[in-house]
């Protein structure tokens, strides 16, 4: 079978099974990889490609995901999340802005977009009761966490893209000089769109029911990984700190040392279980991407897209299609980058706009195949239409505008 038709059928099956039967992503992605291999006649080589791709993604993201998950559990147990939101609220003033910024910041040490939302949910519920807010707080926090998760380096999306593409001209500092302002602009967009129906009385956004933890205990696990990354990039003798594994491990050590002794074992156990689920799902994505890349037919056909679209739009369109089909942003990033690696597209588009366009594509069409969509719906209790209008549409607008700005800057 033609590999493009086989890939379309595979992604369609993954989307149907995941949406209708609630099968975990690792199983659907693994099954999808072997279905694609069967349809294209790859034979046993698909097994070797899958295990290689899954192992490579574990090597890239295993430690960061584990550290981020455990840090999240410490912040949830010891009042750190309440302290972060309260401190941000002193600066942001508007509760909806504080919620968006809290989600944006907490995605960095937690290496995830859904985990910060889950950690913040009880805090935001307390703020809603105290200040009589609408559900806009939830949408703002969710969209804020997605923005930083997708655009900031070295969070999983951009880290997976650069490790799959291995672009020689990618410089982390140069990328962040462009990506950070763009992500903050996107944050403003999603905060406005998701919070249009916002209604809160004035007041500092903190909860009456919970007592915030100490500032050291709350902020050091959040700031320490960022400080390590900055120091590693700016001070050559400390370059080892620029490694995401070292930076996140430092944040985890800070969380452990500053937490009460009674919290350590429960947080470590809970965080380990949570990390295992995320890591296996990502390994399934890495395996599927490796199988598609190893088959070779898709990669050979990609350059022909540049006869229909400008080369800079090809990665955006591919990532957006995968995002619509299966919902996971890291999966979309890994598969898109794996397909593009070594093709003429990577030679035609410089690394910086290439990474930005894939990331922007991962913002698109976050609808029923996106597990975060259903987490938000369960939390808010609102209809599918409302969640779509206040979560899917703001992210789609942010992704489209970011892609347009990237084309204007680098087109």
Q: Which of 50, 66, 159 is nearest to 109 (CA)?
A: 66
Q: Is 65 helix (H, G, I), strand (E, B) or coil?
A: helix
- Encoding tokens for residue 321? 């299609």
d(CA 160, CA 289): 11
Task: Give every CB contact of residue 284 below 8 A, 6+ residues apart in sequence.
Answer: 25, 26, 27, 28, 29, 30, 33, 54, 331
- pLDDT for 199 equals 57
- pLDDT for 204 equals 53
- Encoding tokens for residue 217? 């205990």
- pLDDT for 107 equals 93
d(CA 111, CA 119): 13
Region of 230 please: left (phi>0), alpha (psi -120 to 50) or beta.
Answer: alpha
CB atoms inside a 10 Å sphere around CB 43: 9
d(CA 162, CA 356): 11
128 contacts 87 by C-beta, under 8 angstroms: no
Q: Is 298 helix (H, G, I), strand (E, B) or coil?
A: helix
d(CA 313, CA 34): 29
Sign of torsion, CA 329 302 182 58? positive
Burial of 263 (0-12, 13-18, 19+ CB in 10 A): middle
d(CA 181, CA 316): 19
d(CA 81, CA 141): 12
Task: Provide the residue count of the chain.
Answer: 411
In tens digits, the chain (411 residues) has pLDDT values of 888 888 888 878 877 887 676 677 788 888 988 999 999 999 888 999 999 888 888 888 889 889 988 988 888 888 888 888 888 888 877 888 999 999 999 998 988 898 899 888 888 888 888 887 888 999 999 999 999 999 999 898 999 899 888 888 898 889 999 999 999 999 999 988 877 665 565 555 554 455 566 888 888 998 998 899 889 988 989 989 888 899 999 999 999 998 888 889 999 999 999 888 888 877 887 788 788 878 877 767 766 777 788 889 999 999 998 888 767 798 889 888 988 887 888 888 999 999 999 999 999 988 776 878 888 988 888 888 888 999 999 999 999 999 999 999 987
CB atoms inside a 10 Å sphere around CB 14: 26
- pLDDT for 207 equals 45
pTM over 0.75: yes
Q: Is 138 helix (H, G, I), strand (E, B) or coil?
A: helix
d(CA 122, CA 83): 13
Residue at token pair 């999603």: 190
- Encoding tokens for residue 88? 């941000």
- pLDDT for 409 equals 92
First to last CA, the chain: 36
Report H helices in 78-133.
80-92, 95-110, 114-131
């Amino acid at each position: 079978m033609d590999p493009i038709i086989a890939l379309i059928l595979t992604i369609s099956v993954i989307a149907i099974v995941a949406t209708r039967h609630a099968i975990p992503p690792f199983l659907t992605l693994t099954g999808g990889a072997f279905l694609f291999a069967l349809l294209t006649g790859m034979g046993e080589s698909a097994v070797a490609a899958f295990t290689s791709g899954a192992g490579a993604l574990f090597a890239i993201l295993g430690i960061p995901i584990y550290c981020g998950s455990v840090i999240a559990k410490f912040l949830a147990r010891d009042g750190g999340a309440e302290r972060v939101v309260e401190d941000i609220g002193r600066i942001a003033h508007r509760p909806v802005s504080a919620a968006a910024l809290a989600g944006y910041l907490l995605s960095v040490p937690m290496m995830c977009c859904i985990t910060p939302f889950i950690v913040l949910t009880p805090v935001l519920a307390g703020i809603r009761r105290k200040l009589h807010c609408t559900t806009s707080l939830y949408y703002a926090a969710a969209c804020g966490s997605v923005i930083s998760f997708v655009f900031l380096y070295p969070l999983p999306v951009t880290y997976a893209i650069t490790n799959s593409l291995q672009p020689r001209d990618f410089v982390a500092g140069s990328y962040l000089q462009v990506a950070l302002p763009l992500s903050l602009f996107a944050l403003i967009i999603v905060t406005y769109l998701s919070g249009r129906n916002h209604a809160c009385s004035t007041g500092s956004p903190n909860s009456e029911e919970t007592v915030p933890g100490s500032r050291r205990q709350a902020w050091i696990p959040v700031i320490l990984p960022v400080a390590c990354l900055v120091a590693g990039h700016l001070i050559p003798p400390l370059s080892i700190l620029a490694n995401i594994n070292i930076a996140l491990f430092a944040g985890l050590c800070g969380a452990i040392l500053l937490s009460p002794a009674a919290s350590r074992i429960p947080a470590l156990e809970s965080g380990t279980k949570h990390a295992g689920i995320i890591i296996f799902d990502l390994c399934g994505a890495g395996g599927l991407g490796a199988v598609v890349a190893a088959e070779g037919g898709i990669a050979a056909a990609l350059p022909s897209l540049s006869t229909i679209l400008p080369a800079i739009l090809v990665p955006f369109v591919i990532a957006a299609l995968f995002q619509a089909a299966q919902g996971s942003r890291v999966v979309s990033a890994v598969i898109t980058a794996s397909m593009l690696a070594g093709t003429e597209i990577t030679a035609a588009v410089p690394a910086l706009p290439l990474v930005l366009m894939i990331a922007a594509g991962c913002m698109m069409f976050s609808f029923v195949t996106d597990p975060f969509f259903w987490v938000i719906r369960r939390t808010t209790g609102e209809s599918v239409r409302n969640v779509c209008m206040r979560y899917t549409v703001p992210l789609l607008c942010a992704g489209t505008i970011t892609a347009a700005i990237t084309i204007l800057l680098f087109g």
